[in-house]
Chains A and B, each alone.
Chain A
Amino acid sequence: MMDFITGPLFALSLLIFVGGLGLRVILYIRGLDAKLERVAYNFHFSRSIPGALVSIGKWLIPGGTAGWRKQPVAAAAFFLLHVGAIFVPLFVLGHTVLLEDLTGISLPSLPGELADVLTIATLCGLVLLVARRLTSPALRQLNSCQDWLVLAVTILPFFTGLMASFDTASYDTWCILHVLSGELFLILAPFTKLSHIALYFMSRAQLGMDYAIKRGGATRGGAFPW
């Protein structure tokens, strides 16, 4: 059981994740239409590249954009979720030890307590986003099955990983559930809104280029107030 889910099934999930997201990025770029969108993507690189980078960067800073400042609660939930969601899977000890065994690459690892705190923050962020989906009138109009699926698929690996790290009497079960739920996340990512893991960078870059090339953003050094 363990050998299968950490061997062939893991390789397959990773392939689907990396290959699938790579394909989504290629399709995104091929779907751009300079005429339709009236953006000369292939010209003015000296303006458009800084514009793209600024747009990607500003949304990664808490309160960095008007969009974040307008919705402080959603923004707080978002950052609670994403800080742990990015750093814990990459740097938690259980993963760095396995990575070193598989590839020989040795990454620094998070202290156990910090990993626990970040994971709990991630889970709190996710619960807040669930609450927001349930209460916000605008979101209640928009909610689809996929939104709930994406939230559930994200909660599972963090919850089962935290439970496994507590080393309870059912450690083996939590371990297996953690591996399976992590793989479910990897497999579903390219086919759901989780594809924003890669497409965030594409759509922010596109908009950043748009503003920098034709809406005068460049005259403000790549930054724009709206």
Chain B
Amino acid sequence: MRKIVICGLVMLSACLSVPAIAVADEVERIPITFPEIKSPELPPVFFTHEKHMEYVERLKGDCTSCHVETEEGMSPDFLHIKKQPADKQVAYIHAACTDCHAKANAGPRLVECRTCHDRQVAQAQAQ
């Protein structure tokens, strides 16, 4: 009986501490600089660029999964986003990010808005 209670308490404290760990994450992130958002409706996305390099390596991809090779070398833009009409750019980045997640069966799908548009991450980045 005592063991069960202790087990329960340990599990409970583990559950409670999960959000605390998630808040204090020290992952490197970069802002998405394009498209420029004038009046954002959701917290801006801060992208785990370093980690995505590991992710795409696992998927046997490389920088070109997200950047196009041009004559002047690799473009720092996300795929073909600058070629999209202005009112389709957000839809384009949504589709491009989540298509890979769906194919890889990992990472947030489009329904999970606030996994990418994370208020706590955005607040931490703003500081």
Contact = CB atoms under 8 A, between A and B. Distances in A.
A97 B94 CA distance: 9
B112 A2 contact: yes
Given A101-B94, A111-B41, A167-B118, A175 B111 contact: yes
Nearest to B113: A94
Contacts of A98: 110-111
Interface in B72-127: 87, 90-91, 94-95, 98, 102, 105, 109-115, 118-120
Contacts of B113: 94, 97
Contacts of A93: 41-42
B76 to A, nearest CB: 25
B3 to A, nearest CB: 28
A106 B87 contact: yes
A125 to B, nearest CB: 26
A2 B94 contact: no
A171 B114 contact: yes
A147 interface: no
A88 to B, nearest CB: 15
A106 B91 contact: yes
A100 B102 CA distance: 17
B41 A112 contact: yes
Interface residues on A, range: 20 to 34
A2 B115 CA distance: 13
Contacts of B105: 3
Contacts of A175: 111-112
Contact of A169 (B18, B41, B87): B18
A172 interface: yes
Contact of A101 (B19, B95, B119): B95
Question: SS class of chain B's interface: helix, strand, loop or mixed?
Answer: helix
B91 A171 contact: no
A91 to B, nearest CB: 13
A101 to B, nearest CB: 6
A6 interface: yes
Contacts of B118: 167
B22 interface: yes
B22 to A, nearest CB: 7
A100 B18 contact: no
A172 B108 CA distance: 10
A171 B115 contact: yes
A3 B94 contact: no
B111 A6 contact: yes
B102 A3 contact: yes
Nearest to A93: B41
Contacts of A112: 41-42
A172 B112 contact: yes
18 contacts: A6-B109, A6-B111, A94-B111, A97-B90, A97-B91, A97-B110, A98-B110, A100-B91, A101-B95, A104-B91, A109-B41, A111-B41, A112-B41, A167-B118, A167-B120, A171-B114, A172-B115, A175-B112
Which 8 A-B pairs give the minimum distances between C-beta atoms? A169-B19, A167-B114, A167-B119, A100-B91, A6-B111, A171-B114, A2-B109, A101-B110
Given A6-B109, A98-B110, A169-B18, 6 more contacts: A97-B90, A97-B113, A100-B91, A167-B114, A167-B118, A179-B111
